[in-house]
Amino acid sequence: MTDRLSYEEIRARLLSRHEIALLDVREEDPFAQEHPLWAANLPLSRLERDAWRRIPRRDTLIVLYGQYQNTDLAPLAVQRLQALGYTKVHMLDGGIEGWRQAGGELFRDVNVPSKSFGELVEHERHTPSLSAQEVKALIDANADVVVLDARRYDEYQTMNIPTSTSVPGAELVLRARELAPDPKTQIIVNCAGRTRSIIGTQSLVNAGLPNPVAALRNGTIGWKLAGQVLDHGSNRQAPAASEANKAFARAQARAVADKAGVRWISYEALPSLDAGDRTTYRFDVRSAQEYAAGHLVDFLNAPGGQLVQETDHHAPVRGARIVLADDDGVRAPMSASWLAQMGWEVYVLIDPPATAFCETGSGPDLFPAAPQVSELAAKELARLLLESSAGVAVIDFSTSANYVKQHIPGAWFAIRAQLAQALERIPAATSYVLTCSDSTLARFASQDLRVLLAACNIEASVHVLAGGNAAWFAAGLPAEAGEQRLAVPRTDRYRRPYEGTDATAESMQAYLDWEFGLVAQLGRDGTHHFKVI
């Protein structure tokens, strides 16, 4: 029988800063409705794909919960994690309801540790900000002002403040001087809501930039609530930093990191962190393009602004160590300064040799070999669908966003952990063909389907589309789009009120109201160890 840990035991471990991974194995939407502060979302559907990357040490203390509708997903998640080699897997006693009844605080939304920390930063440092109306007035008057968008470039391209330039969070201290060389130029930092604009603005303040700096209060949400128009499809990006500006930024970043309590480690001393029973995350905080061109062995890519924004995703083991690397001496120290303030033991790699950036590509595939399955080539599946569509059911395990954007005609959308419920809607077939973006997740799901069919005494063949949807579309075969044939609801992703262009004013205002209340929730929870410099 699986051991269970109580709310009190987990809280004591968090307070003592001992390692623990508290995992919610539901899909992202139910996770976002309510969860403990330090719970990380690791859906049962993707355990094999994500566990080794996100929880690298197999003897990490892991605690799971996952009650969804009338099913407890945690027992199956325990089995799968144990099969992956994890040796200390427990369940949360009483699940999330037990946490609530014990007096545990529950939080809404995603990336809550980072967002609540951002609110605490503004609360304690009184980070300067300007309203949407004030910023628009400056732009309309052709004032000496630059607007820097601290989000990811793809988010920026979806919608942006007019005249703004994309400068993702960790790039701000490195590149702001190129866009505002005159110290009298007003700099505005924005994101979609509040967190990244607060952290970005405070980064520039902490680094001693001489310019007046302010956050766009409430980001693009505030802009839209003010009835102002956003641009779409912009492509302005910050230029590379000059050597003089880079040297100045490097010195300032080092000073900020030292003040925050960041530790420093040489490239030669890195192996020393592998000793003992501690998890050590290694992240390259440069852009994905720079990382792919050449990176350090065993370092994963996590661009600094997103790492600070999504720390719970990249490092779900609370109490672990984090090592950051860059090739400029600015982005890693600035990112580390924020992680240290968030209670992490964080190191920056000192001047790694250029020759050490010898690995190329997007990084290793840190998941077990997918099961051997019966495969169908894309054109073979197309022929079967044309000849006997009534007897063939195609089930797509891609993300719902990708499914809606483009899928095989006639395919059903399903979530792997809800396959049993999906089969209640999908018409019975003599042959099932499973697919996803690249076929990997479909291979794991094929085992689940065989078990379900056997339990119901149903005889049917199970195949996987070789190469997944990518192979189908590459072959020039037909595609359709839309939300038709959703075998289960789209709970795999929580719809953020600040993304896209169609959020209602009510949902955007509700999101802002929630953020304003996070500091009080932090106080009630009491396990954060945040310390703002």
> Which of the four pLDDT bands, split at 50, 70 and 90, describes residue 498?
confident
Q: Where are the alpha helices (DSSP H) in 16-111?
A: 28-33, 47-54, 74-83, 95-101
**Which pair of tokens denotes residue 421?**
């419920």
Is 81 a member of any domain? yes
Neighbour count for residue 437 (Cβ, 10 Å): 17
Q: Which domain holds residue 391?
A: 375-474
Spatial CB neighbours of 485, under 8 Å, sequence gap ≥ 6: 410, 411, 412, 413
Query: Is the pLDDT at 512 greater than 90, yes or no?
Result: no
Is 484 a member of any domain? no
At 31-40, the pLDDT tens digits run: 999 999 999 9
At 446-497, the pLDDT tens digits run: 999 999 999 988 899 999 999 999 999 999 999 999 999 999 999 999 988 7
> Which of the four pLDDT bands, split at 50, 70 and 90, describes residue 527?
very high
Is 522 a member of any domain? no
133 lies in the same domain as 108: no
Q: What pLDDT is recorded for position 416?
A: 97
Query: Is the pLDDT at 79 greater than 80, yes or no?
Result: yes
- Domain harbouring 444, CATH code: 3.40.250.10
Return the H-helix or E-strand segment holding 158.
Answer: helix 153-158
Is 213 a member of any domain? yes
At 83-102, the pLDDT tens digits run: 999 999 999 999 999 999 99
Q: What pLDDT is recorded for position 83?
A: 96
Average pLDDT over residues 104-120: 96
Do the beta carbons of residue 211 and residue 187 sit within 8 Å? Answer: yes
Range of lowest pLDDT (143-152, 313-322, 385-394, 411-420): 385-394
Neighbour count for residue 231 (Cβ, 10 Å): 14
108 lies in the same domain as 126: no
Is 52 a member of any domain? yes
Query: Is the pLDDT at 501 greater than 90, yes or no?
Result: no
Averaged pLDDT of the chain: 95
269 lies in the same domain as 232: no
Residue 424 C-alpha from the chain's centroid: 32
Return the H-helix or E-strand segment holding 116.
Answer: helix 112-125
Q: What pLDDT is recorded for position 1?
A: 64
Nearest C-alpha neighbor of 515 from the set 203, 194, 111: 194
Residue linked to tokens 């440092």: 125
Q: What pLDDT is recorded for position 469?
A: 97
Q: What pLDDT is recorded for position 513?
A: 87
At 249-297, the pLDDT tens digits run: 999 999 999 999 999 999 999 999 987 789 999 999 999 999 999 999 9
Q: What pLDDT is recorded for position 390?
A: 66
Is 492 a member of any domain? no
Do the beta carbons of residue 271 and residue 195 sit within 8 Å? Answer: no
At 345-369, the pLDDT tens digits run: 999 999 999 999 999 999 888 888 8
Query: Is the pLDDT at 337 greater than 80, yes or no?
Result: yes
334 lies in the same domain as 381: no
Between strands 375-376 and 145-149, the pairing is: unpaired
Of 67, 93, 112, which residue is a domain's last? 112
At 293-315, the pLDDT tens digits run: 999 999 999 999 999 999 999 99
402 lies in the same domain as 317: no
59 lies in the same domain as 126: no
Is 247 a member of any domain? no
Residue 231, beta-bridge partner list: 160
Give the number of residues written for the chain. Answer: 533
Q: What pLDDT is recorded for position 275?
A: 77
Is 365 a member of any domain? no
Cα separation, 411 vs 529, whole angstroms: 48
Of 236, 263, 281, which residue is a domain's last? 236
Of 356, 384, 417, which residue is a domain's last? 356
143 lies in the same domain as 218: yes
Q: Specify the amino acid at residue 32.
A: A
90 lies in the same domain as 40: yes
132 lies in the same domain as 227: yes
**Which pair of tokens denotes residue 7?**
């709310």
104 lies in the same domain as 23: yes
93 lies in the same domain as 127: no
Structural domain tally of the chain? 4
Query: Is the pLDDT at 244 greater than 70, yes or no?
Result: yes
> Which of the four pLDDT bands, split at 50, 70 and 90, describes residue 182?
very high
Q: How many CA atoms are closer than 13 Å to the CA of 35, on its beta-carbon side?
A: 29
463 lies in the same domain as 387: yes
**Which pair of tokens denotes residue 321?**
């160590």
> Which of the four pLDDT bands, split at 50, 70 and 90, describes residue 502?
confident
Q: Where are the alpha helices (DSSP H) in 262-324?
A: 288-293, 304-309, 311-314
Residue 22, beta-bridge partner list: 39, 63
517-520's contacts with Cβ under 8 Å and 24+ in sequence apart are 518/107, 518/112, 518/115, 518/116, 518/119, 518/120, 519/116, 519/119, 519/120, 519/123
Query: Is the pLDDT at 2 greater than 80, yes or no?
Result: no
**Which pair of tokens denotes residue 51?**
């566990």
